[in-house]
Amino acid sequence: MKFTKFFIQTQKDAPSDAVLPSHQYLLKGGFVSQEGAGLYNYLPLGKMVLDNIRNIVKEELDNAGAIEVQLSFVTPHSLWEESGRSETMDKEMLRFKDRKDNSFVLSPTNEEAMVNLVRQRVKSYKDLPVNLYQINTKFRDEARPRFGILRGREFLMKDGYSFHTSTEDMIREFNLMEYTYKKIFTRLGLEFRVVQADSGAIGGSGSKEFHVIANSGEDTLVICNSCDYGANIETIFEDESEVDALNELSYEELQNKKIEQKCSCGCKLSFKKGIEVGHIFQLGDRYSAPLKAEFLNKDQRKENMQMATFGIGVSRLIAAVIEQNHDDKGCIWTKTTTPFMCEVIVSNAKKEDELNAGLKVYEELKENNISTLIDDRVKERFGFKMKDFELLGFPYAIIIGKKLQENIVEVVCRRSGEKTDVAIDEVVAFIKDKLV
Ligand code: ATP
Ligand code: MG
């Protein structure tokens, strides 16, 4: 992609309410733009990251045997009365009426709608188990939309729902999804923890959360320094005000808090901050009972389906990647999430030899399937282009500059800051080597 033909507008400043790096850099880099409180547009670069994440989520879920669908974003309000969640989730649901006075909500989550779909189609134990998922827009009228797309009102979620003939089979799928989620977050290049969680408004029994470890996280976790035990403090402290007080503390303040208790493995426990990027629940018949999602068992008797539900915050993940991967200059994308793997920076695009050499390298990278942006802007100075590269955070830059006379270009690694002089004929092989 050529910078001059693309749609990137970087900005010097972020609005004053943007306190977190992800919020600042996503706005300054023109990945997203704000449309209203908790409402964001995805501009081309942001859409590319979103699609990268979405594709990895889809690939791993399909691999695990889950089946993709797409439900209506608008859900009849009557379904929420059937499940009894109309009241518990009342404030978060945006309700409206159509011209015939029927009540609807913008889906904040889709347990009810999915149960409705499955109860109409699945009649026998022979049709089970089934695991259906979608990657679709959600709307929650959050009390405090903040931190940009970390807590938006409209956001993209992967939500999956599985249906079973027995609790054992539901737990088997729950474990498979835990394994699959770990694969997803590992492929995204994230440092994360799986922790015991509170089931909240969704209801049901067993539940685990997946947290990206980041100092700016809104949740407080207790984790073992040696085994993989971890818990959200919501599950440890009875008193909600105690939980709120700890959540209000910054990461630095938390480090001064000692935990007397030891992990069951005998090792030290410590506090960390986490961003919740996934949540899986064992629901049992929490929804199938009130919504009468039944099947005929082998003895031709009716039983409630056993259900589990699995969520991933797809758009939140964009911000989570940045919270864990940035410096004071900008984003540092992981290799699987970055919009472009490489940027060719033509130092002075007025010079024909520089521009042509840049274009040649750019074409060769493309032929090698390395996604590349070429900064071919004529008016911008080199320093400005470099600042944009650092803000946008692609893994590598190839700078075509003064040393071109000697057939040498400079490769910059965004993460390490390392700079290497490479012969122009060898630069594509050099980059390819870095990517294996
Ligand atoms: P939180 O405690 O952060 O509000 P939640 O418990 O309400 O999350 P779930 O109902 O389990 O979240 O939704 C599944 C996933 O959707 C969450 O793990 C999170 O990653 C994402 N998510 C939830 N609310 C938002 C939001 N307002 N903006 C962006 N992503 C969200
Ligand atoms: Mg919530």
* Residues 285 and 353 occupy one common structural domain: no
Domain containing 381 — which CATH number? 3.40.50.800
How far apart are the C-alpha atoms of 64 and 193, rounded to whole Å?
Answer: 21
Q: Is 308 exposed, middle or buried (CB count within 10 Å of its CB: 0-12, 13-18, 19+)?
A: buried
Asked whether residue 371 is assigned to any structural domain, the reply reads yes
Q: Quote the pLDDT of residue 256.
A: 87
Asked whether residue 203 is assigned to any structural domain, the reply reads yes
Q: Quote the pLDDT of residue 200.
A: 62
Q: Quote the pLDDT of residue 318.
A: 98
Domain that residue 396 falls in: 342-434
Distances (CA, A) of 260 to 75, 202, 241, 269: 48, 32, 20, 8
Q: What angle do CA 372, 378, 380 make, to 5 degrees?
A: 90
370-390 tens-digit pLDDT: 999 999 999 999 999 999 999
Q: Quote the pLDDT of residue 238.
A: 82
Q: If you take atom 22 of ligand 1, which residue's CA is the nearest one?
A: 313
Q: Is the pLDDT of residue 204 over 60?
A: no
CB atoms within 10 A of CB 390: 19
Query: How many percent of the chain have pLDDT more than 70?
Result: 98
Instruction: Show the beta-strand stretches assigned E in 331-402.
Output: 342-346, 372-375, 396-400
Q: Quote the pLDDT of residue 274.
A: 97
Residue with token string 């005998």: 266
Please, where are the H alpha helices in 44-110? 44-63, 78-83, 85-88
Supply the DSSP string of 165-207, one letter for each residue.
SSHHHHHHHHHHHHHHHHHHHHHTT--EEEEE---GGG--S-E
Domain containing 66 — which CATH number? 3.30.930.10
Single residue among 279, 305, 330 that ends a domain in this structure: 330
Q: Quote the pLDDT of residue 202.
A: 53
* Residues 316 and 365 occupy one common structural domain: no
Q: Quote the pLDDT of residue 258.
A: 85
How far apart are the C-alpha atoms of 301 and 132, rounded to whole Å?
Answer: 25
Q: Is the pLDDT of residue 55 over 60?
A: yes
* Residues 353 and 294 occupy one common structural domain: no
Single residue among 330, 362, 394 that ends a domain in this structure: 330
Strand, helix or coil for residue 356: helix
Are the CB atoms for 193 and 174 separated by under 8 Å? no
Identify the band that residue 205 occupies on the pLDDT scale cut at 50, 70 and 90: low
Instruction: Return the minimum-mean-pLDDT range out of 22-31, 233-242, 276-285, 323-332.
Output: 233-242
Query: How many percent of the chain have pLDDT more than 90?
Result: 92
Cα 101 to averaged position of ligand 1 atoms, centre (Å): 31
* Residues 198 and 293 occupy one common structural domain: yes
The CA radius of gyration of the chain, in Å to the nearest whole number, is 25
Q: Is the pLDDT of residue 271 over 60?
A: yes
Helices and strands: H and E segment counts in the chain: 12, 21
Asked whether residue 1 is assigned to any structural domain, the reply reads no
Mean pLDDT score of the chain, rounded to an integer? 96
Asked whether residue 277 is assigned to any structural domain, the reply reads yes
| Ligand 1, pocket residues at CB < 6 Å | 109, 140, 142, 151-152, 155, 157, 200, 202, 276-279, 311, 313, 315-316
Helix (H) or strand (E) holding 408: strand 408-413
Q: Quote the pLDDT of residue 199.
A: 63
* Residues 405 and 307 occupy one common structural domain: no
Identify the band that residue 282 occupies on the pLDDT scale cut at 50, 70 and 90: very high
Cα 293 to averaged position of ligand 2 atoms, centre (Å): 26
Alpha-carbon torsion, ordered 226, 171, 197, 144, to 10 deg: 130
Q: If you take atom 25 of ligand 1, which residue's CA is the nearest one?
A: 151
**Residue from 431, 285, 274, 271 nearest 364 by CA:** 431
Q: Quote the pLDDT of residue 198.
A: 73
Q: Is the pLDDT of residue 201 over 60?
A: no
Single-letter code of the amino acid located at 21? P
Residue 69, C-beta contacts closer than 8 angstroms, at least 6 positions apart: 117, 132, 133, 134
Asked whether residue 400 is assigned to any structural domain, the reply reads yes
Single-letter code of the amino acid located at 60? E
* Residues 27 and 142 occupy one common structural domain: yes
* Residues 259 and 151 occupy one common structural domain: yes
Cα 98 to averaged position of ligand 2 atoms, centre (Å): 27
Cα 209 to averaged position of ligand 1 atoms, centre (Å): 10
72-125 tens-digit pLDDT: 999 999 999 999 999 999 899 999 999 999 999 999 999 999 999 999 999 999
Asked whether residue 133 is assigned to any structural domain, the reply reads yes
* Residues 63 and 188 occupy one common structural domain: yes
Asked whether residue 2 is assigned to any structural domain, the reply reads no
Single residue among 307, 330, 353 that ends a domain in this structure: 330
Q: If you take atom 31 of ligand 1, which residue's CA is the nearest one?
A: 313
Single-letter code of the amino acid located at 340? F
Asked whether residue 335 is assigned to any structural domain, the reply reads no
How far apart are the C-alpha atoms of 388 and 374, rounded to whole Å?
Answer: 12
24-36 tens-digit pLDDT: 999 999 999 999 9
How far apart are the C-alpha atoms of 3 and 400, rounded to whole Å?
Answer: 15
**Could you identify the atom of ligand 1 that is nearest to the CA of residue 311?**
14
* Residues 157 and 108 occupy one common structural domain: yes
Q: Is the pLDDT of residue 364 over 80?
A: yes
* Residues 426 and 322 occupy one common structural domain: no
User: What's the number of domains the chain is made of?
Assistant: 2
Q: Compute the average pLDDT of residues 348-364.
A: 98
82-95 tens-digit pLDDT: 999 999 998 999 99
Are the CB atoms for 257 and 249 separated by under 8 Å? yes
* Residues 228 and 169 occupy one common structural domain: yes
* Residues 52 and 99 occupy one common structural domain: yes
Q: Quote the pLDDT of residue 327.
A: 98
